[in-house]
C-alpha cells in the first residue's frame, strides 16, 4: 500500500492510464491547493475537447449541413454507435445497447418489457435500499399493468445476495436491482442473482449507474436480461447526457416494451400504420434523439475507445483500496470509518466513509476544495474514476479530510446550515 505522498506520485508515474487522464479537464491551480474531485459517482470530468465537439456539431452539422446531418453526421445512428462503445465496457454485444432517454424512463421500459414477457407471473422482487427512482418505476409499471403484481422488497440492510435469491420463486416475473447501493456502495453479485432468477424462470433488470465505467461488469456472461444506467457518472457523458438501455439479444423476437415510437420502428421512414419493432435494443428508441445532449458522451466515448477496460478495472480497485487504507491509516483515530464493504468485489464505484459530522463535514471539505457528496443517514461518498482520479489526489483529499476532522472545523455552524445535494 502507498503510505506516503511520494508513494502515490510514483504510482501515478507508473500508471498505464495516465495519458488517458490528461485528455480530461483538470482543475487549474497549484499542485497543493487545486480542487480535488471525488465525485465521479455523481458527475464525471469533462473531456478536454468537448467544446470542439460541440462547436463542430453546431457550426458544421446544425449550422451548415442542417437536416442532412440526421444521416450524414450520424445523428440517427448515434444511439447505436454510442451504445456499441458502451457495450465493450459492460460486457455486452454490438446491437444490445442504445443510448436514449433517462435512466428512469429506461427502467420503466425494461420493467414493462419484462412483465410482458412473463404475463402469468405476479411477483416483482427488489429491495428497500434500491435507489428510489427504481422503485417508483417498478410500482408505476405494476399500476399500469392493473395491479396484478406484488412488489416484494428485501428489507434495508439485507446485504447478502442469498437473501435476495431466497425471495425469487416460480411466481417471480422480474428482479429489479441496482448493482451498487447509491449510499454504501455495496455491490451485488450480478451473475449469482441473474443465475438464480433464470433458474426460477424469472428475468433481471439491473441499474448499473454506480458501477458502469468504474467496476468490471460482464452483462452477457453474468446472464443479465435488461440493464440501464446513467452515463454522466463514471462514463463522463456530462450533465443531461442520455442514459443507456441494454437488452440481451435472446429477447429480440418477443420483446414489447409498452411504449412505442417512430425511432424504434424497423423502417422509420416507411411511415407505416402499425409499429414494427426494430432489431435489437433499437426497439427501445422512442422519439427524436437529444443530439446536443449527447455531445459530451461522444467526446467521452472517443476517449473510452482507447481505454484498456481491464487496466481500468485494476486501477479502480487500487484507487478504491487506497481510500479504504488511507482512511484506516490517517482518519480512524478521529472517528472516521469505512462504511462500504472492505472487500473490493463487494464494492462499487464509490467508497463511503462514516463520521458523525455527516453533511456538515462534506460542506467543510468543499470549503477545502475536496468535492465529495453526502447521502443520508451517514454516507460520505468518495467517487473515484479509473480514468481521471490520480493516486496523489486521494492522498491530498485524505490529508485535507484529516485536517478538517482533527481541527473539528466542520463544527462551524455555517456548515450545518448548508444542505448539499
Ligand atoms: C442508481 C441510480 N439510478 C438512477 C439515477 C437517475 O436516473 P435518471 O437518469 O432518470 O435521473 C440515479 C441518479 O443519481 C441513480 O443513482
Tens of pLDDT, residue by residue over 300-331, are 999 999 999 999 999 999 999 999 999 999 99
| Percent share of the chain, pLDDT over 70 | 98
Collapse the DSSP code of 355 into the 3-class scheme (helix H, G, I; strand E, B; otherwise coil) and give the result.
coil
| pLDDT tens-digit series, residues 48-100 | 999 999 999 999 999 999 999 999 999 999 999 999 999 999 999 999 999 99
Ligand 1 mean position, distance from CA 133 (Å): 7
| Closest residue by Cα to residue 20 from 385, 395, 293, 348 | 385
Question: Does the Cβ of 42 fall within 6 Å of ligand 1?
Answer: no
| pLDDT tens-digit series, residues 369-419 | 999 999 998 889 999 999 999 999 999 999 999 999 999 999 999 998 777
Q: Confirm whether 233 is a catalytic residue.
A: yes
pLDDT greater than 80 at residue 421: no
Give the helix ranges, DSSP H, for 93-131.
Answer: 103-117
* pLDDT band with cut points at 50, 70 and 90 for residue 342: very high
Report residue 298 as a C-alpha cell: 461522444
Averaged pLDDT for residues 167-175: 98
Q: How confident is the model at residue 26, as a pLDDT?
A: 87
Q: Confirm whether 232 is a catalytic residue.
A: yes
The answer to whether 182 and 375 have CB atoms below 8 angstroms apart is yes
Q: Give dist(CA 78, CA 89) in Å, integer.
A: 17
Query: What sign has the CA pseudo-torsion 356, 358, 360, 362?
Result: positive
pLDDT greater than 80 at residue 27: no
Catalytic residue chosen out of the listed positions 24, 37, 232, 234? 232
Which pTM value belongs to this model?
0.97
Report residue 220 as a C-alpha cell: 452477457
Q: How confident is the model at residue 178, as a pLDDT?
A: 98
| Closest residue by Cα to residue 265 from 276, 279, 253 | 276
Instruction: State the DSSP string of 234-250.
Output: TT---TT---EEEE-GG
Q: Give dist(CA 111, CA 141) in Å, integer.
A: 7
Q: How confident is the model at residue 196, as a pLDDT?
A: 98
- Which regions of 40-183 does DSSP assign to beta strands (E)? 97-99, 123-127, 150-154, 172-178
Q: Give dist(CA 11, CA 32) in Å, integer.
A: 18
The answer to whether 413 and 44 have CB atoms below 8 angstroms apart is no
Report residue 128 as a C-alpha cell: 428497500
Q: Give dist(CA 57, CA 62) in Å, integer.
A: 6
Give the single-character DSSP code of 82.
H
Question: Does the Cβ of 10 fall within 6 Å of ligand 1?
Answer: no
Q: Give dist(CA 404, CA 396) in Å, integer.
A: 13
Task: Enumerate residues 6+ apart whose C-beta is below 8 A from 253.
Answer: none
Q: Is 366 exposed, middle or buried (0-12, 13-18, 19+ CB in 10 A)?
A: middle
Q: How confident is the model at residue 49, as a pLDDT?
A: 98
Q: How confident is the model at residue 29, as a pLDDT?
A: 54
Q: How confident is the model at residue 28, as a pLDDT?
A: 66
Ligand 1 mean position, distance from CA 210 (Å): 9
| pLDDT tens-digit series, residues 204-246 | 999 999 999 999 999 999 999 999 999 999 999 999 999 999 9
> Relative to the CA of 107, which ligand 1 atom is closest?
10
**In the predicted model, what is the mean pLDDT of the chain?**
96
Task: Enumerate residues 6+ apart whose C-beta is below 8 A from 200.
Answer: 168, 169, 170, 172
Ligand 1 mean position, distance from CA 373 (Å): 15
Q: Is 147 exposed, middle or buried (0-12, 13-18, 19+ CB in 10 A)?
A: exposed
Q: Confirm whether 131 is a catalytic residue.
A: yes
Q: Confirm whether 415 is a catalytic residue.
A: no
| Percent share of the chain, pLDDT over 90 | 93
Question: Does the Cβ of 178 fall within 6 Å of ligand 1?
Answer: yes
Question: Does the Cβ of 131 fall within 6 Å of ligand 1?
Answer: yes
The upper half-sphere exposure of residue 96, i.e. CA atoms within 13 Å in the direction of its Cβ, equals 23
Catalytic residue chosen out of the listed positions 24, 131, 182, 234? 131
Amino acid at each position: 500500500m502507498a503510505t506516503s505522498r511520494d508513494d502515490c506520485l510514483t504510482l501515478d508515474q507508473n500508471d498505464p492510464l495516465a495519458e488517458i487522464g490528461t485528455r480530461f479537464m483538470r482543475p487549474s491551480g497549484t499542485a497543493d491547493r487545486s480542487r480535488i474531485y471525488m465525485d465521479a459517482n455523481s458527475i464525471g470530468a469533462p473531456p478536454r475537447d468537448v467544446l470542439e465537439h460541440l462547436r463542430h456539431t453546431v457550426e458544421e452539422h446544425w449550422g451548415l449541413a442542417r437536416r442532412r446531418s440526421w444521416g450524414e453526421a450520424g445523428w440517427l445512428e448515434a444511439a447505436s454507435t454510442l451504445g456499441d462503445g458502451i457495450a465493450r465496457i459492460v460486457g455486452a454485444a454490438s446491437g444490445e445497447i442504445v443510448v436514449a432517454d433517462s435512466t428512469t424512463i429506461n427502467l420503466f421500459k425494461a420493467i414493462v418489457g419484462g412483465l410482458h414477457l412473463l404475463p402469468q407471473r405476479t411477483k416483482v422482487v427488489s429491495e428497500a435500499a434500491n435507489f428510489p427512482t427504481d422503485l417508483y418505476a417498478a410500482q408505476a409499471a405494476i399500476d399500469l399493468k392493473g395491479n396484478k403484481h406484488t412488489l416484494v422488497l428485501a428489507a434495508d440492510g439485507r446485504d447478502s445476495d442469498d437473501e435476495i435469491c431466497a425471495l425469487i420463486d416460480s411466481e417471480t416475473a422480474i428482479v429489479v436491482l441496482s448493482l451498487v447501493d447509491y449510499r454504501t456502495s455495496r455491490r451485488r453479485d450480478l451473475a449469482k442473482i441473474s443465475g438464480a432468477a433464470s433458474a426460477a424462470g424469472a428475468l433481471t433488470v439491473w441499474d448499473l449507474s454506480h458501477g458502469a465505467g468504474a467496476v468490471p461488469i460482464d452483462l452477457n456472461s453474468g446472464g443479465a436480461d435488461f440493464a440501464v444506467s446513467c452515463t454522466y457518472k463514471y462514463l463522463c457523458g456530462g450533465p443531461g447526457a442520455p442514459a443507456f438501455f441494454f437488452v440481451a439479444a435472446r429477447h429480440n423476437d418477443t420483446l414489447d416494451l409498452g411504449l412505442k415510437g417512430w425511432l424504434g420502428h424497423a423502417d422509420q421512414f416507411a411511415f407505416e400504420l402499425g409499429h414494427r419493432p426494430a432489431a435489437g435494443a433499437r426497439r427501445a428508441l422512442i422519439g427524436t434523439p437529444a443530439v446536443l445532449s449527447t455531445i459530451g458522451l461522444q467526446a467521452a466515448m472517443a476517449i473510452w475507445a482507447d481505454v484498456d477496460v481491464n487496466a481500468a478495472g485494476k486501477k479502480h480497485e487500487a484507487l478504491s483500496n487506497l481510500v479504504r487504507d488511507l482512511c484506516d491509516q490517517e482518519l480512524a483515530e478521529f472517528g472516521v470509518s469505512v462504511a462500504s464493504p472492505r472487500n473490493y468485489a463487494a464494492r462499487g464505484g464509490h467508497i463511503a466513509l462514516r463520521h458523525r459530522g455527516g453533511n456538515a463535514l462534506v460542506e467543510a471539505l468543499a470549503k477545502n476544495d475536496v468535492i465529495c457528496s453526502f447521502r443520508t443517514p451517514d454516507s460520505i461518498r468518495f467517487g473515484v474514476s479509473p480514468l481521471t482520479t490520480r493516486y496523489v489526489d486521494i492522498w491530498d483529499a485524505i490529508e485535507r479530510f484529516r485536517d478538517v476532522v482533527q481541527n473539528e472545523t466542520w463544527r462551524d455552524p455555517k456548515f450545518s446550515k448548508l444542505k448539499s445535494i
